[in-house]
Structure 1
Amino acid sequence: MLRTHTCGELRLEDKGKEVTLCGWSQTVRDKGGVVWIDLRDRYGVTQLIFEEGVSSPEILAQASKIHREYVLQATGEVVERYNKNPNIPTGDVEIRVKELTILNKSKTPPFLIEDETDGGEDLRMKYRYLDLRRNIVRKNFELRHRMMQETRRYLDAQQFMEVETPVLIKSTPEGARDFVVPSRMNPGEFYALPQSPQTFKQLLMVSGFDRYFQIVKCFRDEDLRADRQPEFTQIDCEMAFVNQEDILNTFEGLARHLFKEVRGVEFKEFPRMQYADAMRLYGSDKPDIRFGMEFVELNELAQNKGFNVFDQAELVVAIKAEGCADYTRKQLDALSDYVKRPQIGAKGLVYVKYNSDGSFKSSVDKFYSEEDLKAWADKMEAKPGDLLLVLSGDTSHTRRAMNELRLHMGSELGLRKPDEYQPLWVLDFPLLEYDEETKRYHAMHHPFTSPKPEDMDKLENDPGSVRANAYDMVINGVEVGGGSIRIFDRGLQQQMFQLLGFTEEEARKQFGFLMDAFEYGAPPHGGIAFGFDRLCALMGGKDSIRDFIAFPKNTSGRDVMIDSPSPISEEQLKELDLKLREEARNNRS
C-alpha cells in the first residue's frame, strides 16, 4: 500500500506516529514561511504542515507549488494542531511532512470540489467524476451501499436466493416503451432491455426456486422527471406458496429493517388503506399521511344554491387548513394562482374563512348564507380560526388538483417534515382501466396480476369493477414499491389477455413461453419490486434520484459527460442491416 492510514482516521492518540497519507489537495494556504495543505480522500481530510526551519527548504519549496486536486503522497509525524478545527474528526492533529511526492498533477477544476460548490448542475454532470469527489455527494453513495448490504442481509435471512435474469429479452406491447437492441446475427430482429424481470421471476417460481430476489437494472424509454431515469435499479422479489398477507408481512419487515439499520428510524405502525379510500380522502393512490387535511365532499350542502360553478360540478370537495383564517388576500390569491397553473389545471378556488369570532367570510358570500357556511364547517369539523379551501369539477381531475393543493399547503405549513417517515400500504387497486381513445381495457399494473378471489365472477360481465390482488408501499407520499399476487392458471391468464384485447395469436406470440410453463405445475405466487433509487433518495432526504446514481442521465435522457446517446458508424449500421432497411423504407415512401 502507498499509505499507512487514510485521511479520516488519525486522532490525538496517534500523536508521535510516523504515517504516510495519500489523497488530493483540497486547499493550499501559503503564508510564506508556512504552507498548509488539506489532504482529502474518501474517508476525510487531514491537514499537512510545512514550516520554515522545520521542513527542509526543498520540501517547503515543493509544497508552495502544489495546486488544487494534485494527487499527493505525504510522510511525516502526527503532531497536535495549534489551531484546532472542531468541525472535522481529524481536527486535533496535523502531519509535519518530511517527504512529499507528487503522484500526479491536476488542471484547475471547473468548480470548487467542496460541499458548497460554485458549480451548477449541468457543469457538475459534465465533470461527474469530479463531482463525486465531494464529501456531500459521496455520502449519498455510502448510504446506497449500506442499503444494498442491508437488503441482502435481510432477504438472505428470510431464505431468499439472489438470481440474475437476462438483460437481452423480448419486447412486449404493455407498459412503457422499450429500449431495443438490434441483433447482428438475426438481421431485422431486435432484443429489448427489460422494464422489469417480471416473467422471468414468475418462471423461477415455476422452477421451484420458492423465494427469489435481485437488485437489478431496469430500462424504460419514457419522459423523465426528478424521480425517473431511463435506467434505474429495483429490489425485485417473488415468493411461491403465499397469499397477500404473507407478502405484506415479509416486505413490511424489509422496510422496517432498512429504516432501522440505515436511518435509525423505527416505524410505530404500518397502516393499510384501500385504493378507493385513498382516492376519496386524498385524491392520490400514494397519499402523504404525515398530516391530515383529508378531503370532505360537499355536494349535498353546496349544490342547488344558485352557484353554477358548483351546481354543474360532478364533485365539490374541500380541505381544512387549521389556523389559517388570517390568510391575507394576497396569500389567498397566490393559492388561487397555484391551482390555476397548467400542471394542475383548476379553473378557480373558493375559500371560506371561519373567523376567530365565529363569523364567516368567503369568496362566495353572494350565494351562501352564514348558516350555509356553518354547515360546511360543521361537516368538516372546523373550528374558529380555520380556513376552508374548495375545488369543483369532474371527479378525477378535481381530486388530482386538490391533492396538489393539499401537498402544497402541507409544505407551506411545515407539516411535511423531512425527518419524519410515515409508511402505508395501499391495497385493492382496480384490475383494469378503460381507455376511451383505444376503446379497450388496459392493465392498471400488468397483465399477470390476479383479480381478488371474491371479484372473480365479475370478470365476464363487469370487468371494470374487478379489484386487483395488488398492493403498493407508500412512504411520505412516495410510491417506493408495488406488486401483486400473480395469475398462475393458464385459463385465467388467457382470459386476462382477451380482456386486454389480445388475440389468441398475439398472446401466444408474446407470452407463449409463460403460458406453456403454467401447464407444468405452476405454484401460487406473488411478489413486489421496490424502486431502489427512490428509497435511497427518500432516506437521504433528497427529491431527485439523480443524486444517488453515480452517472445519471439529464432530463433529456443524455449523459453529458460521455455525450451519449450518439450516432454510430456507417459500418456498424451495415453490420446490423439497419441502413439497408432505412433505405428500403425511404424508397417505399
Structure 2
Amino acid sequence: MHAYRSHTCAELNASNVGDKVRLAGWVHRVRDHGGVLFIDLRDHYGMTQLLCDPDSPVFADVEKVRSEWCIRIDGEVKARDESLVNTKIPTGEVEVFVRDLEVLGDVKGDLPLQVFGDQEYPEETRLRYRYLDLRREKMQKNMKLRSDVVTSIRKRMWDQNFREFQTPIITASSPEGARDFLVPSRLHPGKFYALPQAPQQFKQLLMVSGFDKYFQIAPCFRDEDPRADRSPTDFYQLDLEMSFVEQQDVFDAIQPVLTGVFEEFGGGRKVDQTWEQISYKDAALWYGSDKPDLRNPIKMQVVSEHFAGSGFAIFAKLLEQDGTEIRAIPAPTGGSRKFCDRMNAYAQKEGLPGMGYIFWRKQSPDSIAQERGITVKEVNALIKSGEIVLGNEAAGPLAKNIGPERTEAIRQQLGLEVGDAAFFLGGKPKAFEGVAGRARNVIGEELGLTDKNRFAFAWIVDFPIYEQDEETGKIDFEHNPFSMPQGGMEALQGDPLSVLGYQYDLACNGYELVSGAVRNHKPEIMFKAFEIAGYGEDEVRKRFGGMVNAFQYGAPPHGGCAAGIDRIVMLLADEANIREVILFPMNQRAEDLMMNAPSDPTSDQLMELGLRVIPQD
C-alpha cells in the first residue's frame, strides 16, 4: 500500500464496504458522541467520515487529535446506517473505522483562524495566515475555478490556432499609464530594469517578426493604488495579438473564448450572445461610465431644453454657461417621496449639493383643492358627481418650479408612467458623469431592475485619442497613445479633440474585462500623433526605440487585446473583492504580511547594487 493513501477523501462509496484503506488529510472536525469519536477528514478532493471507538487499538491516540492536524489513518470501510447517510457528499454512504493512526503534522498552539465553519475574520488575519485561509471550502473552490478557467481559456485559444509564447519579465522601463516597478542592475551600476506593465511592445514585435497569432497568460506588474477590483502589484491577463486584422476581427476572436468560458463556469447564469457596440461618447451619456452594467436597463438622457428659461433658477442659470447640460436618470417604479429623498441624500454623500427629482402619481383631492382654491370637501363632491376626474400629476420641488407642461414633456421623453420618478444632475458632464453613473447603479439595485442572473457584455468603441487641459490648454493623450487613429494621417491634420482611435474595451456587469486596440504601425503616423501631444521624434525614439525601429522594417497591420484573468474569475465566483480569487494577494497597503514584503535590504545588498536608501521625514 502507498505510504500515505490508497484513496482520496472523495473516492470511497458503497462499493468499497469491507475494504482496507489508507487515507491522509486534515482533521476538519472532531465530534465525541459518548465515547465514540467521529472525525471528518478533509483533503483537496473532499471529505470522509472516520469512526473510532474503544475497540480500536489507537483509540487513545485518536482522542488527542485536534482540528487541522494532518494525519494518516488505516481502517476498514463500513456502510452507514440508512438513516445516517449524508447525501450532500460523495462519500456520504460510508465511514471508515480507524485501526491505525500516524500524525504527519500537528498544530502548535491555537489556530489563528478556524477552517471549519463560516466565521468572518479580518482581512489582515486572513492574509497573514493565507495558507490556513486557503484551506477553507470557499477558497478551495475559488482557486479550483481559477485553474479550470485558465485551462479552458488556453484550450479555446489553441483551437483558434493561436500560439502561446512567453515574453520577458525583466525589460526596459516603458510608461504605459501606471508606475513601473524598477529593478536595479548589479552589472550596470546606476541603471535599472523594469518589470513589464504588460507585454505590449513585445507582442507587437512578435507581429513584426512574422508570428500571426500570439497569446499568453501573462503576468503584469504595476505599482498602483489598490481597490476592490484591482491588485496593487501584479495580475494576470489573457494577452493576445493578431496580424492583418481590423477591429472586428479581434472582436470575433475573443468573443467565442469568453462566451464559452462564462457558459462553462457561470453556474447557469444567462450569457449574452450578442455583444452591443457602444461609442465611448454614448456610454458616458447613457450610463455615466465607460464600463456600464447593462444588466440595469436604465439609460440616462439629456433634458436641457425642458429647464432652459424655466422657473428652476439653478438649472436655468447653469445652462447659460458654455458646455453645460442637464441629464435625467429615469427611475421606473421609484415614484415615492421616501425613495426620492433617499437618493437625494445619496448624491449629497457623494459630494454633490443634491439631486433634483420629479415623481409622478395619481392626482389627490388635496392638490386639486389647492390648485382651484376650494376645500377638499368640495373637491370630493365634484369627483363624486363626475365633474372632476382624477388624472396624473408630477410631484417634488422641481415639478412645482417648472410647471405641468414641462414636467409632462419630460415624462413623455423618458417614457415614464404614474409610479415612476426621474432624477436630475446638471453642469459640465465630466464633473457629474461619475456620480450620475453610480446613482444609476444604486437606483437599478434598489428598485430591483438589475438582472442578477446574467452576464451582460458590450464593446465600448471610438475612444478619443486626445484631451485638453482646461487650465493650461495643453493637448495630451486621453487614452492609449499607440492606437491607430481612425482616418490615419488625414485625421491628425484637423482638430485633435475630434480624433478617435481604433481602441476598445469590453465591459461586463460594470467591470472593464478587456482592453485593446488596432495598433499604429506606421512610424510617420506615430511621430505625428506624439507631436500633437508635445513629444518630439527624438523623445519617441528614446522612449520606444525598439518598437519604432522595428516598424521601419515592414511592419504588418496588427491589433489585439488583453482580458483580465483575475476579474473574469471574480465575476464567475460572484465575488466583490479580487483578493478572493488570488492565491497570495497583497493587502490594501500593497504589503505581503505572510512573507513580510516589502522588506528592508541588507547593507551588503545595497553596497553590491551601488544604492543608498534616503530616510523619509
TM-score range for the pair, normalised by the shorter chain length: over 0.9
- The aligned counterpart of 2:18 is 16
Is it true that 1:351 corresponds to 2:357 in the alignment?
yes
Deviation at 1:436, TM superposition (A): 4.1
- The aligned counterpart of 1:495 is 528
- The aligned counterpart of 1:307 is 312
* Stretches of structure 2 lacking an aligned partner (at least 5 in a row): 319-323, 364-391
Pick from 255, 269, 272: which aligns with 1:267? 272
* Stretches of structure 1 lacking an aligned partner (at least 5 in a row): none
Q: Which moved more, 1:19-28 or 1:116-125?
A: 116-125
| Cα pair 2:20 2:77 within 8 Å, conserved | yes
Deviation at 1:280, TM superposition (A): 1.5
Q: Residues 28, 408 of structure 1: CA spacing in aligned structure 2 closer, same or farther, 3 A cutoff?
A: same
Q: Which moved more, 1:79-88 or 1:44-53?
A: 79-88
Deviation at 1:494, TM superposition (A): 1.4
Letter in 2 for 1:529: A
| Cα pair 1:115 1:136 within 8 Å, conserved | no
Q: Which moved more, 1:118-127 or 1:137-146?
A: 118-127
Q: Residues 327, 19 of structure 1: CA spacing in aligned structure 2 closer, same or farther, 3 A cutoff?
A: farther
Deviations 1:121-149 (A, max 9, x none): 21111100100001110111111111111
Is it true that 1:112 corresponds to 2:145 in the alignment?
no
Q: Residues 374, 436 of structure 1: CA spacing in aligned structure 2 closer, same or farther, 3 A cutoff?
A: closer
Is it true that 1:233 corresponds to 2:266 in the alignment?
no
Is it true that 1:382 corresponds to 2:390 in the alignment?
no
| Cα pair 1:418 1:541 within 8 Å, conserved | no
SS of match in other structure, 2:86: coil
Pick from 494, 515, 524: which aligns with 1:482? 515
Deviation at 1:412, TM superposition (A): 1.4
Pick from 24, 27, 43: which aligns with 2:29? 27
Q: Which moved more, 1:361-370 or 1:62-71?
A: 361-370
Deviation at 1:551, TM superposition (A): 0.4
Is it true that 1:97 corresponds to 2:98 in the alignment?
yes
Letter in 2 for 1:305: S
Deviations 1:296-328 (A, max 9, x none): 211101121132221133121112211121342
Deviations 1:241-286 (A, max 9, x none): 1111111111111111211222255433222111111111111111
- The aligned counterpart of 2:159 is 157
Q: Distance in 2 between matches of 1:416 and 1:563?
A: 42
Taking the TM superposition and a 5 Å limit, the aligned residue runs for 1:572-587 are 572-579=605-612
Q: Distance in 1 between matches of 2:417 and 2:193?
A: 62
SS of match in other structure, 2:500: coil
SS of match in other structure, 2:398: coil
Letter in 2 for 1:126: R
Q: Distance in 1 between matches of 2:532 and 2:117?
A: 54
SS of match in other structure, 1:404: helix
Pick from 329, 337, 347: which aligns with 1:339? 347
Deviation at 1:365, TM superposition (A): 4.1
| Cα pair 1:315 1:398 within 8 Å, conserved | no
SS of match in other structure, 1:360: strand
Is it true that 1:444 corresponds to 2:478 in the alignment?
yes
Q: Distance in 1 between matches of 2:155 and 2:240?
A: 14
| Cα pair 1:309 1:392 within 8 Å, conserved | no
| Cα pair 2:129 2:594 within 8 Å, conserved | yes
Is it true that 1:326 corresponds to 2:336 in the alignment?
yes
- The aligned counterpart of 2:41 is 39
Q: Distance in 1 between matches of 2:399 and 2:72?
A: 77
Is it true that 1:548 corresponds to 2:581 in the alignment?
yes
- The aligned counterpart of 1:391 is 425
| Cα pair 1:456 1:466 within 8 Å, conserved | no
Identical amino acids, percent of aligned pairs:
39
Pick from 253, 256, 265: which aligns with 1:253? 256
Deviation at 1:161, TM superposition (A): 1.0
Q: Residues 125, 396 of structure 1: CA spacing in aligned structure 2 closer, same or farther, 3 A cutoff?
A: same
TM-score by length of 1: 0.94
SS of match in other structure, 2:464: coil
Deviation at 1:371, TM superposition (A): 2.4
Deviation at 1:376, TM superposition (A): 1.1
Over alpha carbons, which structure has the higher Rg? 2
- The aligned counterpart of 1:360 is 394
- The aligned counterpart of 1:203 is 205
| Cα pair 1:111 1:118 within 8 Å, conserved | no
Q: Residues 169, 442 of structure 1: CA spacing in aligned structure 2 closer, same or farther, 3 A cutoff?
A: farther
Q: Distance in 2 between matches of 1:169 and 1:103?
A: 44
- The aligned counterpart of 1:413 is 447
Q: Residues 438, 365 of structure 1: CA spacing in aligned structure 2 closer, same or farther, 3 A cutoff?
A: closer
Deviation at 1:50, TM superposition (A): 0.4
Deviation at 1:89, TM superposition (A): 2.7
Letter in 2 for 1:44: G
Q: Distance in 2 between matches of 1:113 and 1:382?
A: 51
Q: Distance in 2 between matches of 1:460 and 1:177?
A: 32
RMSD between aligned residues? 1.8
Deviations 1:351-381 (A, max 9, x none): 1110145122112244122222111111111
- The aligned counterpart of 1:75 is 74
Letter in 1 for 2:254: F
| Cα pair 1:310 1:392 within 8 Å, conserved | yes
SS of match in other structure, 1:130: helix
Q: Residues 18, 444 of structure 1: CA spacing in aligned structure 2 closer, same or farther, 3 A cutoff?
A: farther
Deviation at 1:566, TM superposition (A): 1.3
- The aligned counterpart of 1:84 is 85
Q: Distance in 2 between matches of 1:306 and 1:50?
A: 83
Is it true that 1:243 corresponds to 2:276 in the alignment?
no
Q: Residues 428, 118 of structure 1: CA spacing in aligned structure 2 closer, same or farther, 3 A cutoff?
A: closer
